[in-house]
Amino acid sequence: MKNNKWKMDTAIIHTAQTPCQKTGAVVSAVVPAVAYAFPDADSAAACVAGERAGTYYGRYGNPTIATLEEKIAALENGEAALGVSSGMAAISGALLAFLQHGDHVVCTRDVYGGSYKFLTSLAPRYGISADFVDCTNLQAVEQAFLPNTKVLYIETPSNPCLTVLDIAALSKLAHGHGIRVIVDNTFMTPYLQRPLELGADVVVHSATKYINGHGDVIAGFIVGKNEHIQFMRKNIMGDLGQNLNAWDAFLILRGLKTLGLRVRQHCQNAEEVARFLDNHPAISHVYYPGLASHPQHELAKRQMRGMGGIVSFEVKGGYEAAKSFINALRLAMISFSLGDPETLVQHPASMTHASIPAEERLKFNITDGLIRFSTGLEDAQDIIADLEQALAAIPMMGTASRE
């Protein structure tokens, strides 16, 4: 079932899903099978060769995952999608599809710690080099391109400082040099931003976060042209064993149905949190695209349908103050993840971005006082009350209150 005229909330629920013709079941079936039988040897050989539709081994997909992949591709307005075992499997798989020994990648400088670690530790072992550049500066990006640059890799908004990058302008620039553009769209989901429509070649997601939205699945997606996705399926995901499993695919299909409701509430709560923090004397800086003070606020309004559920902010007093604040929270939970119904908080310098050397972290504005706050679906006033009491517990800031 596909209808390009549907609005996003309708498409999220109905795209690629119809009642079972045999049983009438509305919910998609979980098919955990590894092996698939064929009527004869020629049919099996044709399936392996790609001459016949179907699945021949569970490492390369199955019917439950295929339903989810069709839905994700449609939501991102891409030709095809590939479901994989984690966000890092999506990131590494997409990069390895376009890079080989001797190639170079330009990456946005403030990037998820896992992406940074892959590009600085594992990729060099295979002869792939990377440079990290301020991608808000198109001239700097172009100057970083080398004759062997094959990929421009960006995430926008970035993790954790929420830098917003101009996908259309960067894609045009990269394509002028014959370079592929890969965009990590995890923070936005296709509900708020669709990079392929802005010129990107490939979109990656950690579906662990907002797409599933319930904190009970680790998964990733890659979306792009069919030829690229099928190459990744056979030669990257399948060969490296990065496959998604049927049960997790089923949970994501279930979680997706409330994506619109969840994302809208995440955005609303995050905006209220950001405005509260922006007026608090214990906070020196708030990173949130929805604030007029954000350097890419106008770009965000043009490029995104909403400002997302993540708020990052700088606590005065450095690491000790940040630690005191986090430890004093009662409702928000200390966790490495984001995009769950629960409000989650973490300290990037010592947690998600600890793999980045301290001197490099400072270049990316990841200071010891920086906090990343994944605003949950609780009542916004309860979240703010928790922030207020925790900020009051910071040493030397006990008298701090909202102005």
> Cβ(52)–Cβ(209) under 8 Å?
no
Greatest CA separation for the chain? 78
Burial of 160 (0-12, 13-18, 19+ CB in 10 A): buried
Catalytic residue among 59, 225, 264, 301: 59
Quote the CA–CA distance of 41 and 278 in Å, as a whole number: 67
201 catalytic per annotation: no
Q: Which residues contact 330 (CB under 8 A, 6 or more apart)?
A: 386, 389, 390
Cis amide prior to 160 (ω within 30 degrees) = yes
Residue 41 C-beta-side C-alpha neighbours within 13 Å: 0
CA atoms 54, 24, 214, 194: torsion sign:
positive
The residue annotated as part of the active site, out of 112, 116, 153, 191, is 112
| CA 144, chain centre distance (Å) | 25
Catalytic pick from 184, 201, 248, 368? Answer: 184
Assess whether 402 carries a catalytic annotation. Answer: no
Q: Is 59 a catalytic residue?
A: yes
59: which DSSP letter? G
Which value, in Å, is the radius of gyration of the alpha carbons in the chain?
A: 22
Catalytic residue from among 209, 262, 316, 361: 209
- Spatial separation of the C-alpha atoms in residues 6 and 144, rounded to whole Å: 41
Closest CA to 353 of 160, 155, 122, 210: 160
Alpha carbon of 251 to those of 12, 129, 203, 207: distances in Å?
14, 37, 21, 11
Q: Which amino acid is at 10?
A: T
Query: Which burial class, exposed, middle or buried, applies to 403 when counting CB atoms under 10 A from its CB (0-12, 13-18, 19+)?
Result: exposed
Cα 274 to Cα 195: distance, rounded to the nearest angstrom: 25
Question: For residues 111 and 375, what is the distance between their CA atoms, to the nearest angstrom?
Answer: 20
* Active site (catalytic) residues: 59, 112, 184, 209
